[in-house]
Structure 1
Amino acid sequence: MAKIKIDDKEYDTDALSAEAKDNLTNMRLCDERMQQIKRDAAITQTARNAYAAALKSALPKDA
């Protein structure tokens, strides 16, 4: 019997309608996807920083 809190009100998930349970599941999936996107963005930013550093070292020194 899990509980969730929405707008400062607590709900028993077992007592939710099928529609509410589906929406809760979809909301949780969205939360997980957003976390994955944040991790992917951090990885991409790290790679970009490495490419920028490599570019700087590959540029002509007397320009």
Structure 2
Amino acid sequence: MTTITIDNHNYNLDALSDDARAQLTSLQFVDTELARMQAQTAVLQTARMAYAKALQAALPVLPVGDTMKFN
């Protein structure tokens, strides 16, 4: 007998309706996708910081008081 706990209540998985099992499956899928996307976001944020740091290192050094003007 497999049970699942939802809102501090235990439910026998085999006793759930087809609709309840389908909703549970969808919820588990969404939770997995959210975790995957959060991990991907962390990777992208790390890469962005590395690119920004590399960009700063690649920019020309300006004398104090000078600014670059883009037309």
TM-score, normalised by the number of residues in structure 2? 0.83
Residue ranges of structure 1 left out of the alignment (5+ in a row): none
Structure possessing the higher radius of gyration over alpha carbons: 2
1:21 offset after TM fit, Å? Answer: 0.2
Aligned-residue identity in percent? 41
Q: CA RMSD in A?
A: 1.0
User: 2: CA distance between counterparts of 1:58 and 1:12?
Assistant: 61
Residue ranges of structure 2 left out of the alignment (5+ in a row): 64-71
User: How many residues are aligned here?
Assistant: 63
Answer 1 or 2: higher relative contact order, Cα 8 Å, separation at least 6.
1
TM-score, normalised by the number of residues in structure 1? 0.93
Alignment of 1:1-40 (within 5 A): 1-40=1-40
User: 2: CA distance between counterparts of 1:2 and 1:28?
Assistant: 16
Structure 1 residue ranges, 4+ long, deviating more than 3 angstroms after superposition: none
Which has the larger helix fraction?
1
